[in-house]
Amino acid sequence: MLALNRYLFGAICLATACAFGCQSSTPPQKTSATANGQLNVVATTAMVGDVVRGVGGEHVNVTVMLGPGIDPHLYKTSRDDVAMIMDADVVFYSGLLLEGKMTYTLDQVGKSKPVHAITRDLKSDQLLGDAHHPDPHVWFDVELWSRTADVVAAVLAESLPAHAAQFKANADAYQAELKPLADYANETLATIPESQRILITSHDAFGYLGRAYGIEVMGVQGISTDSEAGLRRVNELVDLLVEKKIPSVFVETSVSQKSIEALIEGAASRGHTVTIGGEMYSDAAGPAGTYEGTYEGMIDHNVTIIARALGGTAPQRGRSGKLNEE
Domains and CATH numbers, the chain: 7-177 (3.40.50.1980), 185-309 (3.40.50.1980)
Centre a 10 Å sphere on the Cβ of residue 93 and count the other Cβ atoms it contains. Answer: 25
Least confident of 24-38, 84-98, 303-317: 24-38
Collapse the DSSP code of 146 into the 3-class scheme (helix H, G, I; strand E, B; otherwise coil) and give the result.
helix
**Cα(43)–Cα(52) distance, integer angstroms:** 8
CB 120 within 8 A of CB 145: no
Question: What Rg value do the Cα atoms of the chain yield, rounded?
Answer: 21
Compute the residue count for the chain: 326
| Confidence band for 309, pLDDT divided at 50, 70 and 90 | very high
Q: What is the pLDDT of residues 254-286, one digit of tens each?
A: 888 989 999 999 999 999 999 999 999 999 999
**Cα(207)–Cα(246) distance, integer angstroms:** 18
Give the number of C-alpha atoms closer than 13 A to the C-alpha of residue 235, restricted to the C-beta side.
3
Give the number of C-alpha atoms closer than 13 A to the C-alpha of residue 92, restricted to the C-beta side.
32
The more confidently predicted of residues 91 and 18 is: 91
Q: What is the pLDDT of residue 146?
A: 98
Q: Give 11's DSSP letter.
A: H
**Cα(303)–Cα(317) distance, integer angstroms:** 11
